[in-house]
Structure 1
Amino acid sequence: MDALGLRELRQHASDLVRRAEAGEHLVITVSGRPAAVLGPPERDHWRHYEDVADVLRRRTDDEWETDRELIDQDLVDPWEPRQ
């Protein structure tokens, strides 16, 4: 990776962006310290279904039946005027 100063970035921005677009990664330094990386955008990463199946798999709550009994079963319409 090439390193270049902030001043060089300002002076040659168009050329440096073209280099980054072509696949180069350039380190931008400020006062000699690395501050940023200029490079091509990341491409979309496709995954196989098997790699993400756990995230998409439907999980069940084994205690739902017990928890449901704890809910107050008297439903009330909150918009109905009280008497």
Structure 2
Amino acid sequence: MANHTYVGMWVTKDGRVRHQLLANHRYDEARGERESAYQGRYQVTGNHIEYWDDTGFTADGEFIDGVLYHAGMVLYRKE
């Protein structure tokens, strides 16, 4: 997974939401000034991503043409 194209930082255009997809199948999401607002594990199957937050909620998203669509948000890969 370390070389998977989806591992890395994904951000909204305004930079408010930042998803760090880690190579160990964990994620860390920051919201505004709140670092590590959400953390948990994720799994990518094809272009679909499933999230399981450590607090118990779940979410999902899709990677389409290099863009992550997740929970009504649009996130772009930060190089």
Indicate the structure with greater strand content: 2
TM range (shorter): under 0.3
TM-score by length of 1: 0.21
Structure ID, larger Rg: 1
TM-score by length of 2: 0.22
Indicate the structure with greater helix content: 1
